[in-house]
Amino acid sequence: MSKYRVVLTGATGGIGQALAKALAPHAQSMILLGRQAQALEKLAGELSGSCQVAIVCGDLLSQETHQQLQAKVTDLGGVNLLIHNAGVSDFDAFENQDPAIIKQLLDVNLLTPLLLTQALLPSLKRESGAQIINIGSTFAYIGFPGFAAYCASKFGLRGFTQALRRELSGAGIVVRIFSPRATQTDINDQRVVAMNQALKTAVDTPAAVAQAFMQFLPKTTFEARMGFAENFFAILNQLLPAIPDGAIAGQVKTIRQFFRKKDAS
């Protein structure tokens, strides 16, 4: 594979910035996508000594942003590494979750990667050894209380990854999924941070996630999950789900303490 020509969504986020910095020395070009112009410009400035950097500032829920991205890909002579990293989360009792938030979660985390992939496939198909890497989560494998909609989006993303990987086998494009466990970024609000502490959940730094991602990148494995215990639990969940059912049932009371307090009125 010649040097990577990268499209990275969610480049302004905790994991996105770490990925961009780790990838830059191995990249010919990078297109960084996010919604914060200043953060994008700052990051682009930091990386411009390593590779050609372009930014697309816009909301992934807007068709205009997709068109701007496609135009930028054409300007930079194509893409051979598409990383769907942008994501949103919301932790709460499912019955209290705002339907608009549920829709946004599914749109950003699931529908957008599908539609962007479809739009960029012609460009990816022109490259030899092109890759699409979806950023999953431990919650793409384990359904967890308070994250029903988020888990639905990430399980869906994993299903998409597997199906498209099989559909494109022999077409020269590899479709893979890389799943961090809990990581210190703004996606987790104070309630989630406190819950992770209460449950003694292991939490990684974005730099550690980027390091593991760089190890995954040159391999050909379909998927990678971070964390030995999380890996083991994911396999157990698939083979013998009653065991995680029991373990999580023991945590539910603690988890519920961190749900949003319902308006008493």
Using CB under 6 A, list all residues that contact ligand NAP: 10, 12-16, 34-36, 59-61, 85-88, 108, 135, 137, 180, 182-183, 185-188
The pair of structure tokens assigned to 221 is 């494995």
Reduce the DSSP state of residue 189 to 3 states and report it.
coil
Bridge partner residues of 173 (DSSP):
130
H helices present in the chain, as ranges: 14-23, 37-47, 63-75, 99-106, 112-125, 148-167, 190-199, 206-216, 228-239, 242-249, 252-256
Nearer to ligand NAP by Cβ, of 127 and 208: the residue is 208
Nearer to ligand NAP by Cβ, of 58 and 244: the residue is 58
Q: Which among 124, 104, 105, 126 has a CA at the least distance from the CA of 116? A: 124
CA dihedral 245, 87, 92, 254 (to 10 degrees): 50
Q: Output the smallest distance, CB 171 to ligand NAP, in A.
A: 25
Nearer to ligand NAP by Cβ, of 137 and 161: the residue is 137
Q: Output the smallest distance, CB 104 to ligand NAP, in A.
A: 7
Q: Which position's Cβ is nearest ligand NAP?
A: 13
Instruction: Enter the DSSP assignment of 262.
Output: P
Nearer to ligand NAP by Cβ, of 80 and 188: the residue is 188
Nearer to ligand NAP by Cβ, of 202 and 240: the residue is 202
Q: Output the smallest distance, CB 112 to ligand NAP, in A.
A: 7
Q: Output the smallest distance, CB 74 to ligand NAP, in A.
A: 20
Amino acid making up residue 249: A
Q: Output the smallest distance, CB 65 to ligand NAP, in A.
A: 7
CA dihedral 65, 58, 226, 128 (to 10 degrees): 40
